[in-house]
Structure 1
Amino acid sequence: MNSSTTVSAELGLRLVVPDRTTVPLLAGLEYAADDPYAIRMAFYVGDDEPVEWIFARELLTVGIVRRVGEGDVEVWPGADDGTLHIALSSPFGDALFEVPLPALADFLHRTYQAVPAGEESEFIDIDAELENLLWPS
């Protein structure tokens, strides 16, 4: 694969509200080989601009099998085998999402086909990253 490879998906997930009922919503996932450690997830809420969070790919992967994360992001498998929980915290509030595990696992699998685990550094353009740090545009 080359560094311009991208993987994307749309997931239907559920926002868990305080009374434990759920509200369905849509999230877009995007992975780019030239940013191999990150997965961008855009949450579409109503007609507003999507709310975007950036997750470590490894965090979502490990979260499939055990609770992981601290601070702003926590991920853990549900009691059944079909759900993954993602808890987000920010100065603007907290949110808990129930994500369909098969769809997320398929997306993650495709990211590892694009950039295998342990080979992420081969997809980073170090010269471009240094240039951005030293001479931001």
Structure 2
Amino acid sequence: MNSSDTTASAELGLRLIVPDRPAVPLVARLDYTADDPYAIKVSFHVGEDDPVEWIFARELLTVGIVRAVGEGDVRVWPAKGSGERTLNITLSSPFGHAQFDAAVAPVADFLHRTYEIVPAGQESDYVDLDAEIEQHLC
């Protein structure tokens, strides 16, 4: 895991769950920055092409470790498989649907690092609202 005072990143091994077939191992990169304190970017490396990127709420992963959460495009829930706790993530878009699972421990370690950078409830202290408004008006 890489991190600084304002960013954290980690490589995460996960499995693509394919109905009636063995799961496909993949690698995803998790990125977090204090510049966008509510969001985590997940880049799925699925071949030689550019990675597939999704951005979703940090809180979604955090809550998903303990209970099912999410509506619509991203859903996360805990499970227990092969003796270790796992995290299930389902992503839906107009282009398709995918379900992944990953060990909870590396996800929890990454999330812990993000909360060291920006504590829960203090995200708004890191957002420059005037700059955001100006960016959308110009």
Q: Same fold (TM over 0.5)?
A: yes
Which amino acid in 1 is paired with 2:66?
V
Letter in 2 for 1:38: A
1:4-62 CA-to-partner distances (Å, cap 9, x unmatched) read 71111011110011215210011000001010000000000011110000110001000
Secondary structure in 1 aligned to 2:68?
A: coil
| Structure ranking higher in strand proportion | 2
Pairs aligned (count): 132
Cα distance per residue 1:77-126 (max 9 Å; x no partner): 01344210000111111000011110000000000000000000000111
Secondary structure of 2:97's counterpart equals: strand
Q: Which residue of 2 aligns with 1:76?
A: 77
Q: TM-score normalised to the size of structure 1? A: 0.92
Partner of residue 96, structure 1:
99
Distance 1:20 1:114 in 2: 40
Correspondence list, 1:48-59, <5 A:
48-59=49-60
1:47 maps to a residue whose letter is E
Specify the code of the residue in structure 1 equivalent to 2:90: A
Alignment partner, residue 127 of structure 1? 130
Aligned to 1:107: 110
1:20, 1:86 → 2: CA distance?
A: 18
Unaligned runs of 5+ in 2: none
Judging changes above 3 Å, is the alpha-carbon distance between structure 1 residues 66 and 31 closer, same or farther for their aligned structure 2 residues?
same
Bigger Cα displacement from structure 2, 43-52 vs 4-13: 4-13
Gaps of 5+ in 1: none
SS in 2 for 1:82: strand
SS at match of 2:80: coil
Kindly, what percent of the aligned residue pairs are identical?
A: 67
What letter is aligned with 1:85?
N
Code of the residue aligned with 1:133 in structure 2: it is: H
